[in-house]
Chain A
Amino acid sequence: MKSFAYVSAPDVEAAVRAISTEPNAKFLGGGTNLVDLMREEVEAPDTIIDITRLPLTDIVELPDGGLRVGALVRNSHLAANQLIRSRYPLLSQAILTGASAQLRNMATVGGNLLQRTRCFYFYDSTSACNKREPGTGCDAIGGFNRNHAVLGGSASCIATHPSDMAVALAALDAVIEVESVRGVRRIPLVEFHQLPGETPDVETALAADELITAVELPALPVAATSRYRKVRDRASYAFALVSVAAALEVEDGHITAIRLALGGVAAKPWRAYEAERLLQGTPANEESFRKAAAAELAPASGQSQNAFKIELAQRTIVATLNQLLTDGGAA
C-alpha cells in the first residue's frame, strides 16, 4: 500500500471543499472495497478524506410517499428498515444477497454504488486491463471470463458491475443526489453507471469533485409486489452470475405495471426497458415472459466461458416473474 495523507471531514461542505483542492484524493466510507484496492495498489490515492462523520445516515419519508436515503446509511440498516421492507421489498432482498453480514455492516449506500468490478484481471497488476491502465488491453477477453458481461460490453472491456443493491435501485427509478463546490445535481440511477465503450476507466457520471449525498426512491406502488433473485456459483458470499430485480402488478390477467432490471450481465445495472415495453398491457403468462426475456437478451453476445448467461438470464427473468405471479412479492 502506498503512503497517503488522511483527513477527516466534519461536514459535507468541508468534504467537497477538500476534494476540490486535493488533486488525487478519495472519499472513504465503509472502505470495504477501497481499502482492498489500495492494498493491491489498484487505487493509490495521495489523500483519503474520511466522510464517515458526515450527517448522511438518515432514511427520511418524502411527502409523495417516496424515501430519501442518506449516502452513509449502512447496507445492513437499509435492508432492515421497515419502510424499505414494506414499500420496496426487492431492495432489502437484494442487499441481503450481497457480501457478508460483516461487510454489510460496514458498507455504505454511496460506496456500494461506487464499488468497482471484481474482474480478476482488474485486480492483478501483471495483467492487461484497460479499466485499470487504459490502453494496455483486456486479458478477460479470451481469458477466464465466466463472470463477465454479455450485454453492453466492448472490445476494450467486458467487466460487470458487482452490486446487487444497484440492480434493485435501477428497477425502482432511483435518483442519485450529488454535491460539489459547484452545487447540487440529481442523476437518475440508470444514467449513473456507464458502459465501457472506449473508456472503461470512466465508470460513472460522477465528476472527480462530487460527493454522493443521498439516493431518492420515488413512490412506486408496483414495488410492493417485487422480488430479487440471484443466481450464483454458491449459495452465499458470491457475486451474481445473473440476477433479476422485478416488480409486477397484474389486473384481470393483464400486466398493468412492471419494473425489471438485470445484474451480473453488464458494466451497469441493466434496466430491461425492452422487456418492460413488451410486457406492459400483455397477458401475464409464461409465454409473454419468455418472449420479453428473449427480446431483452437479443443483443447479448457471449465470451469464451460465459455464453450460458444469455440463456440463464432469460430463464431467471421468466422464473422470477412466474414466482411473482403465483406467490406474489417477497415477504
Chain B
Amino acid sequence: MTQAPVRTEPKTTPAGPYVGRPMDRVDGVAKTTGEAKFSAEYPYPDIAHAALVHAPIARGRITGVDSAAALAARGVLAVITHENAPAMKPSPSASMLNMETMAVSSSVTFLNTDEVHWNGQPVAIVVADTLEGAQHAASLVKLSYDELPSTVDFTAALPTAFPQKSSMISPGSAKKGDAETALAAAAVSVDLDYTTPMHNHNAIEPHATTAFWDGDKLTIHEGTQNVDWTRKLLASKFDVPVEGIRVIAPFVGGGFGGKAMLWAGTILTALAARVTGRPVRMMLTREGVYRTVGGRTPSTQRVALGADADGHLTALIHTCVTQIGNAGGSAEQVTSQSRHLYDAANILTEQKQVALDALANTAMRAPGESIGTYALEASVDELAYKLGVDPIELRMRNEPAKNPMDGKKFSHRMLREAYALGAEKFDWARRTPEPGSMRDGKWLVGMGVATAFHPAWQFNANVTVRLSVDGGVLVRCGFHEMGMGGATAQGQIAADALGVPFESVRVEYGDTELPIGPGAGGSMQTASVANSVIAACEKLKKSVLTLAKKSSESPLKGLKLAELKARDGGLYQSGAGETYVSILSRAGRPSVGSVR
C-alpha cells in the first residue's frame, strides 16, 4: 500500500464574508492526525490509572469491604471505599441562584456513604500504576451487602406515577378548554399509545478525566460540556477555593448531553488524585458509562387527536410518563412541542414520572422533545390516514397563526413555507401512500413528513477580543468544542465583524482560565458566543477609531463608526480609510482589546 500524499501547500481562503461559506475547520488537521489531545491523552510522567468498582445490587447497604487481595496485586496504590475515603461535601440542591447546581447529577455522596441507590453505583475506586493493574485489582475488591427491596421495573411502576413538576424550561402540564369532551364529540379521532425505550449515551470518547492536585489547587482535564460548572461543583465538593481549580477541555469527543453534568467518575478521579498525591487518569469503560452516566428516560405516551370532518383539530391530548432515579434525575419536556405545533381548540398535556432505584436519567439530544415529537407526529399521520387527507395538507390546515396555548405572537415560524419548500424538493406530489407502492429499482421506498422545532436559547457568554499591531486577532472564551466546529464558527464571526482575513483570527476556548463561556447544550452555544463576539468586536472597532482620531494624519478623522465599513483589515468609507495595523503602529500600541 502506498502512503497518501501529505498536503503541503498552504491553504488560502478568499476574503470574507466567511459566515455561510463552507470552510476547512481550524482543528481539522489536528483531529485527523491525532495531534488533538483529549482528556485521557495528557501525559504526566508519574501518572496513575484508576478503575471503578460498581455495586451489583439496586438498593441496600454495604456491610463489609475486603480490599486485601486488591491491595496485594501488583502496582496497586490505593483502594478507596466509604471506609477510608476523605469526607467530601454533599452536592448542593438545584437552585436558580447558582446555575452550576443544574449540573448535579446525583444526590449520592459517593464513597462517603454505605448506601447503594442503583445497580452500578460506584462503591470503590482502585488506583494502580497501570490501567490493566487497576482494572484487575478492581475485580478483586470484595464487598458484601445487605440488600433492600427495590423498584427497578419501569412498566411495573407505572401505576405509581406522580405529576412532574414544572422546570425552568418547561411547564409540567398545560390545559386549554376541555380536550377530553371535545375528543369524545369529534367527527374523526385517533387515540394511541406509544412507548420508547431507554437510550444509553455512546459518545466516541467515553467519559474521561485526568486530574492532579498541587495543595488545594486542582488541574483537571475533563471531557465536559461545561468547564465552568464542573469547576464550581468540584470546588464545592472538595471545599477548596474555586480560583484554584482549572478545568481544561479543548476537545471533547462527543457530548450529546451525556457530558453536561458532573458524574461520579469525575469526582472520584479527583478524589483518587488527592488521596494518592499522583496525577490520576480514568476513562470509563463502555460498561462504566452505562452504569454511572445516565441516559434518555424510557417513556409511555398517549396521543389523542380529535378533528372535524375537514381535519381541523378540535382536541389534542398528549400525556406521558417518564423515569427518574430516586437519587437523581431530571424532568424531560416530552409534551412541550404539543403546546405549540397545532391550532387545536382544546389542548391537554400532562407529564408524569416514576422514581426507580435506578441511575439518574439525563439530557440526550433534545431531551423529551425528540421522543414526544415522534409520538405527536406519528399520531398526526394516523389522523391523516383516517381522514384520507394528505399529511402535509392536514398540517397546513392546522397551522396556527398564534401560539395555540396563550395566543401570543410567534417571533419566527415560517412552517407553511417550510412544508411547501420541502414538498417541492422531495417531489411530494409523486408520493403514493399505499405501502409498497413506490419503488426505486430493487428498493421499496416511502416518503413521510414530520415537524419539529427547538427553542432559540441564549446564555451568557463572556468574551475578550484583542487586536495586535501585527494584524492578529485573539478571541478568548471558555466555550466548548465537542465536534460542532466552535472555534471555526467563532473565527468566521470575528473575521467578518472586524473585516480581517480568517487566518488572522485565533480562538481560545475550553479552559476555565478564559472568560466564562456558556455550556455546550440546548443548541445555544454558538449563538450565545457569536452574539458576544460581535458585540466585543463593535467595541473594539470603536476603540480603534478613537485611537485613530487622536492623530491628525488619519483619513478617518471626523468620521463616525456607523459611516465606516470594516474590510480589508481596517475601517473604510468607500475608498478612504486605514488599516488597523497602521492605526496601532502610528499610536505605538502593541494591541487594543475589548471585553464583553
Q: Which residues does A use to contact B, with CB under 8 Å? A: 1-3, 39, 41, 125-126
How far does the Cβ of B138 sit from chain A's closest Cβ, in whole Å? 10
Check B136 for interface membership: any CB of A closer than 8 A.
yes
Q: How far is the CA of A2 from the CA of B133 in the complex (A)?
A: 7
How far does the Cβ of B450 sit from chain A's closest Cβ, in whole Å? 23
- Give B35-65 as 1s and 0s: 1 = Cβ < 8 Å from A's Cβ atoms: 0000000000000000000001000000000
Interface of B is mostly: helix
Question: In the complex, what residues of A have CB within 8 A of residue B136's CB?
Answer: 1-3, 41
A125 touches B74 (CB 8 A): no
- Choice from B56, B74, B133, B139 contacting A41 with Cβ under 8 Å: B139
Q: How far is the CA of A2 from the CA of B56 in the complex (A)?
A: 21
A1 touches B135 (CB 8 A): yes
Check B132 for interface membership: any CB of A closer than 8 A.
yes
- Choice from B132, B133, B135, B139 contacting A125 with Cβ under 8 Å: B139
How far does the Cβ of A282 sit from chain B's closest Cβ, in whole Å? 34
How far does the Cβ of A319 sit from chain B's closest Cβ, in whole Å? 18
Known: A41-B139, A125-B139. A1 touches B132 (CB 8 A): yes
A126 touches B56 (CB 8 A): yes
Q: List 13 A-B contacts (CB under 8 A).
A: A1-B132, A1-B135, A1-B136, A2-B136, A3-B74, A3-B132, A3-B133, A3-B136, A39-B135, A41-B136, A41-B139, A125-B139, A126-B56
Q: How many residues of B contact A (CB 8 A)?
A: 7
Q: Which residue of A is nearest B138, CB measured?
A: A41
Q: Which residues does B use to contact A, with CB under 8 Å? A: 56, 74, 132-133, 135-136, 139
How far does the Cβ of B382 sit from chain A's closest Cβ, in whole Å? 26
Q: How far is the CA of A3 from the CA of B72 in the complex (A)?
A: 13
Q: How far is the CA of A41 from the CA of B287 in the complex (A)?
A: 14
Question: In the complex, what residues of B have CB within 8 A of residue A39's CB?
Answer: 135
How far does the Cβ of B474 sit from chain A's closest Cβ, in whole Å? 43
Q: How far is the CA of A3 from the CA of B136 in the complex (A)?
A: 8
How far does the Cβ of B170 sit from chain A's closest Cβ, in whole Å? 34
How far does the Cβ of A7 sit from chain B's closest Cβ, in whole Å? 19
Question: In the complex, what residues of A have CB within 8 A of residue B139's CB?
Answer: 41, 125
How far does the Cβ of B147 sit from chain A's closest Cβ, in whole Å? 13
Q: How far is the CA of A152 from the CA of B135 in the complex (A)?
A: 37
Question: In the complex, what residues of A have CB within 8 A of residue B133's CB?
Answer: 3
Question: In the complex, what residues of B have CB within 8 A of residue A2's CB?
Answer: 136
How far does the Cβ of B298 sit from chain A's closest Cβ, in whole Å? 16
Apart from A39-B135, A41-B136, A126-B56, list 6 A-B contacts with CB within 8 A: A1-B132, A3-B74, A3-B133, A3-B136, A41-B139, A125-B139
Question: In the complex, what residues of A have CB within 8 A of residue B74's CB?
Answer: 3
The 7 closest A-B pairs by CB, nearest first: A126-B56, A1-B132, A2-B136, A41-B139, A1-B136, A1-B135, A3-B74
Q: Which residue of A is nearest B57, CB measured?
A: A126
Q: How far is the CA of A192 from the CA of B106 in the complex (A)?
A: 51
Question: In the complex, what residues of B have CB within 8 A of residue A41's CB?
Answer: 136, 139
How far does the Cβ of A120 sit from chain B's closest Cβ, in whole Å? 12
Q: Which residue of B is nearest A41, CB measured?
A: B139
How far does the Cβ of A235 sit from chain B's closest Cβ, in whole Å? 13
Question: In the complex, what residues of A have CB within 8 A of residue B56's CB?
Answer: 126
How far does the Cβ of A24 sit from chain B's closest Cβ, in whole Å? 15
